[in-house]
Amino acid sequence: MQKPRLAWWDTLSGFPLPGHSNKPRQTGYTMLLDKRLGLSETRDLLELACDYIDIIKLTFGTSALYPESVLRDKIKLIRFYGVDVYPGGTLFEIAMWQDKLESYLQRAAELGFTGIEVSDGTIPLSA
């Protein structure tokens, strides 16, 4: 979805940054940390900036705090704007710790997440 830009802004700064490629990008990804924005805030953000956001991470374990219907709506909304979305790595770590990685991966896919984060911020992972 191409958003109109103000021509006067282009003359001032060459926005977006010169050399920054359009979507779909192979380099220069922009990731946004969502620390529990509501649906309206998410929609407002995406209407203004979806052309510049490649990935949204629902930080930490926040996606587990949403009612399921709200989480599904949020993921659908983010995907509608052509942005990938994934849950923060804390949920991956909990699944590893509880030996429930397979069910976690299935659930993440079933909810519509386009990826997951593998992290070791809470528990150590061996190579």
Q: What is the pLDDT along the chain (127 residues), one digit of tens a residue?
A: 455 555 655 666 655 666 678 888 888 899 999 999 999 999 999 999 999 999 999 998 899 999 999 999 999 999 999 999 999 999 999 999 999 999 999 999 999 999 999 998 888 877 6
Q: Are 96 and 118 in contact (CB under 8 A)?
A: no
What is the reported pLDDT for 111?
Answer: 98
Distance CA 15, CA 91 (A): 37
**Residue ranges of the alpha helices (H) in 64-100?**
68-80, 89-97
Instruction: Report the pLDDT value the prediction gives residue 7, as an integer from 0 to 100.
Output: 60
Q: Rounded to two decimals, what is the model's pTM?
A: 0.84
Q: Could you give the C-alpha distances from 76 to 70, 73, 98, in angstroms and in order?
A: 10, 5, 28
First to last CA, the chain: 41
DSSP category for residue 40: H
**Across the strands, what pairs with 57?**
33, 86
Rounded to 5 degrees, φ, ψ at 85 are: -145, 140
Calculate the CA 114 to chain-centre distance.
Answer: 9
Please state, in angstroms and rounded to a whole number, the distance separating the CA atoms of residues 51 and 114: 18
